Amino acid sequence: MLQIEDIIEKNGSDFELSKLFKAFIKEYKTSLPKLFEKSQGKDFLVRHTKQLDSIISLMYKTVLRRMFGNYLPMRSSIPVAIVALGSYGREQLCVHSDIDLLIVYEKVDGFNSELIIEKFFYMALDSGLKLGHRVHEVNDLFNSSNKDITIKTSLMEARFVTGSSLTWLSCSKELNKIRLYNQKEFILAKIEEAQARRKKYPNSMQPNIKESVGGLRDSNLIFWVAKIIYGITSLKDLTGVLFLDEEYKEYRAALELLFRVRSALHLIANKQEDRLLLERIPEVSHLLGFVNQQKMVTKVLEAQWRISNFTQIFVKKMTRPFIVDMPNVAKFRKSRIGRGIYESDGRVYASYNLKIQPLNKLLEILVSLDDKPYHFDAGFLNQLTYTKISYPLQTKTYSLLRELFKRKNMYSFLKLFYDAGILHHLFHAFKKVLHLPQFDGYHHYPVDIHSIKCVEALENIKEPYIKNLYDEFSDDEKLLLKIVTLFHDTGKGRVQDHSEVGAKLIVPFVKKMKLKDEEIERCVTLVKQHITMSNVAFKQNIHNEKTLYKFMSNVGDVKNLKLLYVLTYADINGVGGDTYNSFNSNLLMELYVNALEVAENLGRISDATKRINIEKRLQKVQEFLDLPKTLQNKLLRVESNLFFFKHTPHDIIEIAKKAAQTKAYDFSIHTDASLIIEIYRKIPLNIGYLLASLSHLDVASMEIFTLFDGVKYFKIEFIEHVESDEAAEIENIINNAFDMSRHIKLKDVTIHKHEINIDCEHSLTHAEVAVNTQNQKGLLAYIMECFEELGINIVTAKIHSTKHKVRDSFLIEKQNDICNNVGKIYALLTLRSGEQSPPLLR
C-alpha cells in the first residue's frame, strides 16, 4: 500500500500502478504451489479466494484514491458494489479459472459511478487478472436475469467483496426477488441442461473433473436448486432437513477430493485444465501424496459416483413439487405396479414417502416388468441405494438375479445397480474391480463400467452374422454367455493373470445360478480364453494351420468357438469409442471361419490340402471359367497359399484380372470406411517413402503378394477414415512412390533386440518376424526400409498398436538363405538403437 501511495503522491501514471499490481499478482501465483503443499481441497480454494478478494479490494481502493485524492468519501457512500459470482462467489475459485465479477451501481447525482467502474476494469485487466464481468444498475438486475438463465444462475452465487454495503443491501433485495421469481422454469431448465451435459461428458477413464457425470457441475446443480428453493448459503444447512448428516459427510468428502484434483491439474498444466488425462496422473498422484496411482484414480472415480448418486437423489427430492404435472397425476397413479412404485413410458418411479423396501421386493418389481429397456427415476434409485443388503445373499435373491439374466434386456438393471452403488453387493466378484481404472491406452472405461457396457453390446448386436449366431443359441447358452460377459474382467487388479483369476471367481456365482456342470465348465473356459480370439485375430497369422490348431486346442469345441466369437464382439464393443471397426470385424470373422473349418474336420487339414480344396471351389465359379485359359493357369500357379487363404474366390479373380491389365503400375484408393490402398506394380515401389509420407495415419494391416508376370500386389489398410477430398493428395504420394530416388528422412526409431522375435519354423515356406516395441512415428516405414534393403519379400503384415505399444508381425518368404542369416535382420532393425551390429553385417 505504501508503494501505491508513493506513486499516487508523485502523480504517477495508471500504467505504473497496474505494473505494480501485476508484479504482486505474478509473485502471488508463483507462491501457489507452496500454498498447495500446506493446504489443499476447499481450504486452499478459500485461501486463494480471500487473497483475490484482498487484491480486488485494494485495486478498488486505489482507483477511488486516485479519483478523489485527499477528499475520499466513505466507501459506503459511493454507490458501487463489487460482487463475486460463479466459483469465485462460492469461494471455490480454481487457480486458472476466470474471476467472475458483478459490478452493481446506482445512479446518484454527484458520483460518476460509470467512470469509477471503467477505471477499475482497466486497472484489473492491465494487471493481468482474467476477468469475466457484468455491469448492472441495481434496478436493472431483475429484468436482466429474466432474459438469460445464465445470468440468473450466476446471481444465485453472488457474494459481496467490496464497495458500498448500502448498494449491496439494495442488490440483495433484488437477488431475493429474482430467486423467488419463476422458480419452476429455472429448475426445469437447469435439470435439462444437466442431462445434456451428462450425456456429453459420460463416465470415462479420463474424466473431466468439472463437467463429467459426478463432476463439480453436478455439485453446482444441487446448490443452485437448493438456493432457489430454500435460499440457503451452504448445502450443509439442509442436513437433517433433506438428508442425513452421514450422507452429507460422504458427499462432502468426495467433493473435497475433486477440489484437490482440479487444483493440482491447474497447477501442473499452468493453465485451466479440468481433464484427468492419463499422462497427468503420475504428477497429480505425487502432488496429492498418493503412492499408488491406480488407487488415486479409483478414489476419483468413486468420488464422482458418490456425487452423481447424491445429486440425482436429492435434486429430485427437492424439486418434486415443482416438476409434478398435476393434471396427469390421476393417469400416473393408474400405472402403479406396487405400493408407491410406478412405471410409465419405460421409466420406473418410486415415491420418496415410501419407506425403503427390502432388496428382494425391489428385485421382484424388476422381474415383473416387461422385457424391454428401462430408465429409473431418482426415487427408485433412492430405494436401491439405501436398501438393506445382508450377507450371505438369500437363495431367493440369486433366484431373482437368474430371472434378470434370462431377460433379453438386462443392461438397464445393471446400470441401475451401479448407479445405486450395490453392484459389488449383488456380484461379490466386482468388489476388487469397482471403479478400477485401466491404464492400457485401450479401454475408455474403468473395469466395472466396461463390463456393463459389454452386456449392453451383447443385447444390441449390430452385425447380422453375429446376431444370427447369437439367436441360434439356446436359452441356457444365452444365460451363461450373459453371465460370462458381465464377469469376464472381474479378475483384474491382481498380480496373477486376470483371465485365470476371473475363471475362479465366476464358479461360485454360476453355481448359485444353478448352471449344469457342463455349462460351468464352458463358463470357465470362456473367461480363461476371453482375450484369446482378439489376440490371435489381431496379432497372428490366422491362415496358418499351426496357429489355428493351437487356437482351437485352447477353445475346446465348436460350441465354445461360437460363444467366444460373440463374447469377443461384446468385449471389444464395450471398450468404447471406435475400437470395434470394419477391419477388426473382418479379422474376427476370418479367424472364426478358419477355426470352424479346423474344428469341424476330424482329420488334420494341411496347408496343401486346404489349397487344393480352395482351387477346386475356385474352378467351379463361373467368373473363373470366363477368364482366358492362360490367365486361369497363371492364377493357379501363384505360389503363395496365403493369397488363396486370405481372399474369397470373387476377390481372387478380380485381383487376377487387374494384375493381367497392369503395364507399369496401377492403384486404387477406397475411402468408404477406413482408408484402403491397393497397388499393382511391375516396376519397383518405394514402399519406405510411401509409408513415411502417410505416417500420420495408423496402418492396420498390409498384404504383399507376388502374383504372375512380375506383378506384385499390395493392399494397405489404415485405421483412420479420410475424407474423399484427401484422396487427390494420397494419389499424388502414391505416384511419387514409384520414384526410387525419393526419400523422406525418418524420425529416430529405437528397437532393441529383445523386442524382436524371428520364427523360422513358422511353416515350410514362410518365417515370421514379430516386433513388440514402443509406439513411434515412422516405425513401420523404417521396418519396411530395412526389409527392402535386405531383399526380404513380405507376404503380409499385421499391425497392432495402442497409444504406447506396438505388436507388429511380418510373414516373410524363406528366400536367399535368410533363415541361416537371421542376424542380418536383427542387426538392421536395431541399428538406430545403438546396439552393436553383428559381424556378418559388417
| CATH number of the structural domain spanning residue 32 | 3.30.460.10
Q: Which residues contact 536 (CB under 8 A, 6 or more apart)?
A: 542, 547, 551, 591
Task: Report the pLDDT value the prediction gives residue 785, as an integer from 0 to 100.
Answer: 82
Task: Report the pLDDT value the prediction gives residue 330, as an integer from 0 to 100.
Answer: 66
Question: Residue 246 above 80 pLDDT?
Answer: yes
User: Mean per-residue pLDDT for 418-440?
Assistant: 95
User: Mean per-residue pLDDT for 97-103?
Assistant: 93
Is residue 485 within 8 Å of 495, Cβ to Cβ?
no
Alpha-carbon Rg for the chain, nearest whole angstrom, is 34
Task: Report the pLDDT value the prediction gives residue 521, as an integer from 0 to 100.
Answer: 95
pLDDT tens digits for 148-178? 888 899 999 999 999 999 999 999 999 999 9
pLDDT tens digits for 816-833? 778 888 888 888 888 765
* Best CA proximity match to 299, nearest among 270, 331, 338, 260: 260
The whole-angstrom separation of Cα 500 and Cα 568 is: 17
Task: Report the pLDDT value the prediction gives residue 837, as an integer from 0 to 100.
Answer: 41
Of 145, 163, 180, the residue that ends a domain is 180
The whole-angstrom separation of Cα 80 and Cα 165 is: 9
User: Mean per-residue pLDDT for 715-728?
Assistant: 84
The whole-angstrom separation of Cα 311 and Cα 378 is: 9
Task: Report the pLDDT value the prediction gives residue 832, as an integer from 0 to 100.
Answer: 61
pLDDT range class, residue 838, cuts 50, 70, 90: very low
> Does residue 150 lie in a domain region?
yes
> For helices 293-323 and 245-269, what crossing angle results, to 10°?
120
Task: Report the pLDDT value the prediction gives residue 322, as an integer from 0 to 100.
Answer: 84
pLDDT range class, residue 460, cuts 50, 70, 90: very high
Is residue 313 within 8 Å of 385, Cβ to Cβ?
yes
pLDDT range class, residue 605, cuts 50, 70, 90: low
Residue recorded with cell 447380422: 464
Question: Residue 766 above 90 pLDDT?
Answer: no
Of 419, 437, 462, the residue that ends a domain is 419
Same domain, 160 and 197: no
The whole-angstrom separation of Cα 774 and Cα 786 is: 18
User: Mean per-residue pLDDT for 676-680?
Assistant: 94
> Does residue 841 lie in a domain region?
no
Indicate the SS3 state at residue 414: helix
Q: Which residues contact 771 (CB under 8 A, 6 or more apart)?
A: 751, 755, 756, 783, 806, 807, 808, 809, 810, 829
Same domain, 212 and 333: yes
Supply 159's cell numbers. Answer: 457474494
The whole-angstrom separation of Cα 647 and Cα 840 is: 39
Is residue 714 within 8 Å of 664, Cβ to Cβ?
no
> Does residue 617 lie in a domain region?
no
User: Mean per-residue pLDDT for 618-643?
Assistant: 91
Residue recorded with cell 503443499: 37
Query: How many CB atoms neighbour CB 73 within 10 A?
Result: 11
Residue type, 656: A
Same domain, 359 and 468: no
Same domain, 672 and 787: yes
Indicate the SS3 state at residue 740: coil
User: Mean per-residue pLDDT for 171-189?
Assistant: 93
User: Mean per-residue pLDDT for 441-468?
Assistant: 95
Task: Report the pLDDT value the prediction gives residue 840, as an integer from 0 to 100.
Answer: 37
Q: What is the mean pLDDT of the chain?
A: 89
pLDDT tens digits for 565-579? 999 999 999 998 888
Same domain, 458 and 505: yes
Task: Report the pLDDT value the prediction gives residue 328, as an integer from 0 to 100.
Answer: 66
> Does residue 548 lie in a domain region?
yes
The whole-angstrom separation of Cα 458 and Cα 564 is: 12
Question: Residue 599 above 90 pLDDT?
Answer: no
Is residue 419 within 8 Å of 381, Cβ to Cβ?
yes
The whole-angstrom separation of Cα 267 and Cα 252 is: 23
Question: Residue 326 above 60 pLDDT?
Answer: no
- Would you state the torsion angle of the CA atoms of residues 456, 461, 467, 470, taken in this order, to the nearest 10 degrees? -20
User: Mean per-residue pLDDT for 724-748?
Assistant: 86
Query: How many distinct structural domains can be found in the chain?
Result: 4
Supply 170's cell numbers. Answer: 439494495
* Best CA proximity match to 100, nearest among 50, 48, 155, 61: 155
pLDDT tens digits for 261-316? 999 999 999 999 999 999 999 999 999 999 999 999 999 999 999 999 999 999 99
pLDDT range class, residue 1, cuts 50, 70, 90: low
pTM reported for the whole predicted model: 0.82
Q: Which residues contact 347 (CB under 8 A, 6 or more apart)?
A: 374, 375, 376, 377
> Does residue 408 lie in a domain region?
no
Q: Which residue has the higher pLDDT, 132 or 416?
A: 416
Is residue 505 within 8 Å of 445, Cβ to Cβ?
no
> Does residue 147 lie in a domain region?
yes
> Comparing 342-346, 354-358, 429-433, which segment has the lowest mean pLDDT?
342-346
Same domain, 549 and 642: no
Task: Report the pLDDT value the prediction gives residue 830, as an integer from 0 to 100.
Answer: 86
Question: Residue 105 above 80 pLDDT?
Answer: yes
CATH classification of the domain holding 260: 1.20.120.330
C-alpha triplet 92, 96, 100: angle, nearest 5°:
60
The whole-angstrom separation of Cα 762 and Cα 341 is: 64
- Would you state the torsion angle of the CA atoms of residues 213, 219, 220, 225, taken in this order, to the nearest 10 degrees? 110
Task: Report the pLDDT value the prediction gives residue 431, as an integer from 0 to 100.
Answer: 94
Same domain, 212 and 239: yes
Question: Which bin fits 210, alpha (ψ -120 to 50), beta or left (φ > 0)?
Answer: alpha
> Does residue 369 lie in a domain region?
yes
Same domain, 120 and 240: no
Same domain, 376 and 435: no
Report for 24-38, 176-190, 687-701: range of highest mean pLDDT: 176-190
> Comparing 349-353, 390-394, 603-607, 706-710, which segment has the lowest mean pLDDT?
603-607
Of 180, 200, 231, the residue that ends a domain is 180
- Would you state the torsion angle of the CA atoms of residues 458, 463, 464, 468, taken in this order, to the nearest 10 degrees? -30
Supply 525's cell numbers. Answer: 473356459
> Comparing 435-439, 565-569, 694-698, which segment has the lowest mean pLDDT?
694-698
The whole-angstrom separation of Cα 218 and Cα 254 is: 12
User: Mean per-residue pLDDT for 684-706?
Assistant: 87
In three-state form (DSSP H/G/I as H, E/B as E, the rest C), the secondary structure along 344-359 is: ECCEEEECCCCCCCCH
Question: Residue 248 above 60 pLDDT?
Answer: yes
CATH classification of the domain holding 550: 1.10.3210
Same domain, 22 and 97: yes
Task: Report the pLDDT value the prediction gives residue 799, as an integer from 0 to 100.
Answer: 77
pLDDT range class, residue 604, cuts 50, 70, 90: low
Is residue 245 within 8 Å of 304, Cβ to Cβ?
no
Task: Report the pLDDT value the prediction gives residue 395, as an integer from 0 to 100.
Answer: 95
Same domain, 595 and 712: no
> For helices 359-368 and 395-405, what crossing angle results, to 10°?
30
Residues shown for the chain: 842
Same domain, 193 and 172: no
Task: Kindly state the percentage of the chain with pLDDT values over 70.
Answer: 96
Is residue 423 within 8 Å of 451, Cβ to Cβ?
no
From the number of C-beta atoms within 10 Å of its C-beta (0-12, 13-18, 19+), residue 63 rates as buried
Supply 567's cell numbers. Answer: 463374447
pLDDT range class, residue 5, cuts 50, 70, 90: low
Is residue 219 within 8 Å of 311, Cβ to Cβ?
yes
Residue recorded with cell 433366484: 399
Residue recorded with cell 471398450: 575
Supply 141's cell numbers. Answer: 438486475
> Does residue 624 lie in a domain region?
no
What residue numbers bound the domain in which 514 lies? 429-600
Task: Kindly state the percentage of the chain with pLDDT values over 90.
Answer: 60
pLDDT range class, residue 613, cuts 50, 70, 90: confident
Question: Residue 581 above 50 pLDDT?
Answer: yes
Task: Report the pLDDT value the prediction gives residue 386, as an integer from 0 to 100.
Answer: 96
The answer to whether the bond into 392 is cis (omega within 30° of 0) is yes
CATH classification of the domain holding 763: 3.40.1020
Positive or negative: CA dihedral 126, 131, 134, 138: negative
Task: Report the pLDDT value the prediction gives residue 2, as an integer from 0 to 100.
Answer: 64
